[in-house]
Chains A and B, each alone.
Chain A
Amino acid sequence: MATQHSRSAARIMMAPAVVLLLGWMLVPLTMTLYFSFKKYLPLRGGDLGWVGFDNYVRFVSSSAFWPSVQTTLVIVGGVLLITIILGVLLSILLDQPMWGQGIVRILVIAPFFVMPTVSALVWKNMFMDPVNGLFAHLWEAFGAQPVEWLSDASLLSIIIIVSWQWLPFATLILLTAIQSLDSEQLEAAEMDGAPPLARFGFIILPHLSRAITIVILIQTIFLLAIFAEIFVTTGGAFGTRTLTYLIFQRVLESQNVGLGSAGGVYAIILANIVAIFLMRIVGKNLDA
């Protein structure tokens, strides 16, 4: 009896949160679905009625669609690759006893607290500006022609900026994972004749696999939606138009809410495909 009581009490207590969360998710989702089947042009006549799958067909058949999917995947993949490789190296470095460890750790985490818009602007104006940027000065110091980062290497620039923001997150998670490694395992491996590189490959990396999985999953979810970094740097030009950005342009620049909503539904599908794909590959690591 007691358990039944407490169970229904628990349901009542949880209800507000569940309702709020459901509303939070369901309302926008339903509205997106609703508009995606309409021709809705706010400045050019408003609601022009149902059009079935017209918007879906038009969104995919637009010449900008596939390149935007590709751009999205390249950015996500590039950032994941950079943050995980550098994150593993940095976390190993930070795990070594060294002078000023506390300060260094705080400094490493700092970029995570900078707003995406701000950090993108700082990178754009202070580092990547072809005239006044630090990189330009550096290139000139070596007598080279400064690179026009945001137009000539636009995708790479965005990947660098976003990686800089997400590296602290990866490092932090990987560092805590490394700290939980039993030092006797490393000592045992050392006695078993494993040189440092083998110890890294056979002991440290497998130990980190779970943490790496988590970093990949969480980052992917957030990286699929990056927007501010593109908005303030290239504005979607020079091949940096991601799916998110394309939707933004459809809705706000061309004022076509229906078409944008159809794009939103595609984005949801893409995110789910990626998520299922990732879960399949890395999910094994989680239950080991």
Chain B
Amino acid sequence: MGQITLNQITKSFGDVQVIPPLDLQINDGEFVVFVGPSGCGKSTLLRLIAGLEDVSSGAIDIDGTDATEIPPAKRGLAMVFQSYALYPHMSVRKNIAFPLRMAGLDKAAQDAKVDAAAKVLNLTDYLDRRPGQLSGGQRQRVAIGRAIVREPAAFLFDEPLSNLDAALRVNMRLEISELHQSLKTTMIYVTHDQVEAMTMADKIVVLQAGVIEQVGSPLELYHTPRNRFVAGFIGSPKMNFFMGAFASEYNAATIGVRPEHLSVSHTDGKWSGKVGVSEHLGSDTFLYVEVDGVSEPVTVRSTGEVGFRHGDTVHLTPDPDKIHRFDNQGLRIQ
């Protein structure tokens, strides 16, 4: 079980309110990702759920009981920290067994559980090493192992992959996803990397300045962002925004078109501009096109084999069904 409900919780540090009143429902077995720019309160929200910070007001419900006043150890949640927070003077085995030892399990039961976790995480060969003798990815797995053995109601991850290099990050991302498939335990995962969010989440919570901008599945957020912030935050490369005359044609204050929904041609199209930088990734080419009247270069995603050069004049046409319209509050117009 791992159902978590946040009821009008707020958090202030001194006079600064970091989290204004916030409601959120996390269902059992869900993989929920908190994303948002740096400093928007993702870690704070996670620490509130963990109990490492006290809420200033509001209530946290875990599996139907009010957990607001329950100390962190009793909430049945396990957390994986960004710095891993392994105990440096203990062997990997002792690190993973620590929560069991604190729970007063006997030695044989501890060993059985540690061995099982080590097997799942490919750590069996490293059990007698110290954390200092492990690679970043292995340390990460030890941290996850220490969380798994507790059989928590939910896992909390705070940017667990941000210290790893790009290749390893992709691997660990898959491993964590797989772990979620096999354990079916609720997981709450904080990241500011929207690719991680899109690939791993059942449900994404987009935060800005402590406010939830939108909650939904990755594709919901991609197809129907509720406002300009979400539209700009989700999707890579970022959505292009057009204002003024471009937008009023569609009865909106701003329109947004994703790079993959623009077609580009040498001869004719709706808007014209000059090609600036083009990035060839092999599978795709990203063209940055300077269009008069648009302040930032318009990003276009094209196939790998396009013959556009710097300075060419090109014509862009948006896919009419894929245009996102926003009013002057930045809210989506249906």
Tell me the complex Cα distance, A182–B83, Å: 9
B78 part of interface (Cβ distance < 8 Å): yes
Q: Is B52 an interface residue (CB 8 A)?
A: yes
Q: How far is the CB of B13 from chain A (nearest CB, A)?
A: 13
CB of A184 within 8 A of CB of B73, answer: no
Whole-angstrom distance between the Cβ of B133 and the nearest chain A Cβ? 11
B102 interface residue per 8 A CB criterion: yes
A288 surroundings in chain B (CB, below 8 A): 89
| Interface membership of B16, Cβ < 8 A | no
- In the complex, the answer to whether B87 meets A189 with C-beta atoms within 8 Å is yes
Cβ of A188: which chain B residues have Cβ within 8 Å of it?
79, 81, 85, 87, 146
A185 and B86 alpha carbons, distance in the complex (Å): 7
The distance from the CB of A203 to the nearest CB of chain B, in whole angstroms, is: 6
**List of B residues within 8 angstroms of A192 by Cβ:** 73, 98-99, 102, 146, 150
Chain B residues lying within 8 Å of A207, measured Cβ to Cβ, are 88-89
User: How many angstroms between the C-alpha atoms of A189 and B102 in the bound complex?
Assistant: 9
Q: How far is the CA of A191 from the CA of B49 in the complex (A)?
A: 12
Chain B residues within 8 Å of A190, by CB = 52, 71-73
Given A198-B102, A202-B98, A191 contacting B89 (CB threshold 8 A): no
Q: Are B73 and A191 in contact (CB under 8 A)?
A: yes
Closest to A192 in B: B99
Q: What residues of chain A lie closer than 8 Å to B167, measured between beta carbons?
A: none
CB-defined contacts of B89 to chain A, threshold 8 Å: 206-207, 209, 288
- For residue B103, CB closer than 8 A to chain A, the reply is yes
A16 CA to B123 CA, complexed, in Å: 55
Residue of A nearest to B83 (CB): A184
Residue A193 is within 8 A (CB to CB) of chain B in the complex: yes
Query: CB < 8 Å: which of A182, A191, A193, A202 contacts B103?
Result: A193
- CB-defined contacts of A191 to chain B, threshold 8 Å: 50-52, 72-73, 77-79
A77 to chain B, nearest CB (A): 26
A187 touches B73 (CB 8 A): no
Instruction: Judge if A194 is at the interface, Cβ distance under 8 Å.
Output: yes
The proximity string for A residues 19-32 relative to B, scoring 1 for CB distances below 8 Å and 0 otherwise, is 00000000000000
Cα A190 to Cα B83 with chains together (Å)? 16
Chain A, 180-221, CB within 8 A of any chain B CB: 182, 184-185, 187-194, 198, 202-203, 206-207, 209
- In Å, the complex CA distance between A19 and B204 comes to 70
- Are A202 and B85 within 8 A (Cβ)? no
Which residues on the A side are within 8 Å of B103 (C-beta)?
Answer: 193
Give Cα A12 to B79, complex, Å: 57
CA distance A198 to B90 in the complex (A): 14
Across-interface contacts of A202 in B (CB, < 8 A): 87, 90, 98
B81/A187 in contact, CB under 8 A: yes
The secondary-structure label for the interface of chain A is helix
Measured in the bound complex, the distance between the Cα atoms of B89 and A185 in whole Å is 12
Q: Which residues of B contact A198 (CB under 8 A)?
A: 102
**Chain B 67-106 against A: per-residue CB contact (8 Å), 1 yes, 0 no?**
0000111000111011101111110000000110011000
- Give min CB distance, A184 to chain B, whole Å: 4
A203-B88 Cα distance, complex, nearest whole Å: 9
Pick the residue among B72, B77, B81, B99 that contacts A184 (CB under 8 A). B81
- Residues 240-289 (chain B) with a chain A CB within 8 angstroms: none
Contact A187 B102, beta carbon cutoff 8 Å: no
* Complex alpha-carbon distance, A198 and B77, angstroms: 19
Q: Are B102 and A194 in touch, CB under 8 angstroms?
A: yes
Measured in the bound complex, the distance between the Cα atoms of B146 and A188 in whole Å is: 10
Q: Bound state CA distance, A208 and B230, in angstroms? A: 47
B52→A187 contact, CB < 8 A: yes
What separation, in Å, do the CA atoms of A191 and B83 have in the docked complex?
15
Residues of chain A lying within 8 A (CB to CB) of residue B81: 184, 187-188
Contact with B along A163-195 (1 / 0, CB 8 A): 000000000000000000010110111111110
Q: Which residue of B lies closest to A209 (CB)?
A: B89
Output the least CB separation between A249 and chain B (Å): 46
Q: Mark A203-247, 1 if CB is under 8 A from B, else 0.
A: 100110100000000000000000000000000000000000000
A193→B87 contact, CB < 8 A = no
Q: When the two chains form their complex, are residues A193 and B85 in contact, meaning their CB atoms are under 8 A apart?
A: no
Shortest Cβ distance from B150 into A: residue = A192
Q: How far is the CB of A191 from chain B (nearest CB, A)?
A: 5
Measured CB to CB, the nearest residue on chain A to B71 is: A190
Distance (Å) between the CB of A282 and the closest chain B CB? 14
Q: Is the CB of A189 within 8 A of B83?
A: no
A112 to B155, CA, bound (A): 49
Complex Cα–Cα for A193 and B215 (A): 32
Q: Which of A71-90 contact B (CB under 8 A)?
A: none
| Cα separation A203 to B94 with both chains bound (whole Å) | 12
State whether A184 touches B85 (Cβ < 8 A).
yes
Please give, as numbers and ranges, the residues of chain A lying within 8 Å of B88 by CB-CB distance: 207
**CB-defined contacts of A206 to chain B, threshold 8 Å:** 87, 89
Task: Report the Cα distance A182→B82, complex, angstroms.
Answer: 12
Chain A residues contacting B85 (CB-CB under 8 Å) are 182, 184-185, 187-188
Whole-angstrom CA separation of A206 from B79 in the bound complex: 22
Q: How many Å from the CB of B142 to the closest CB on chain A?
A: 11
For B87, list chain A residues within 8 Å (CB).
Answer: 185, 188-189, 202-203, 206
Nearest Cβ distance between residue B91 and chain A, in whole angstroms? 12
- In angstroms, Cα B83 to Cα A245, docked, is 53
What are 14 A-B pairs at a CB distance below 8 A? Answer: A182-B85, A184-B81, A185-B86, A187-B85, A190-B52, A190-B71, A191-B77, A192-B99, A193-B73, A194-B98, A202-B90, A206-B87, A206-B89, A207-B88
Which are the 7 A-B pairs with shortest beta-carbon distances?
Answer: A188-B85, A184-B85, A192-B99, A193-B73, A193-B102, A206-B89, A184-B81
Known: A191-B79, A193-B73, A288-B89. 5 other contacts (CB 8 A): A182-B83, A188-B87, A191-B77, A191-B78, A192-B102
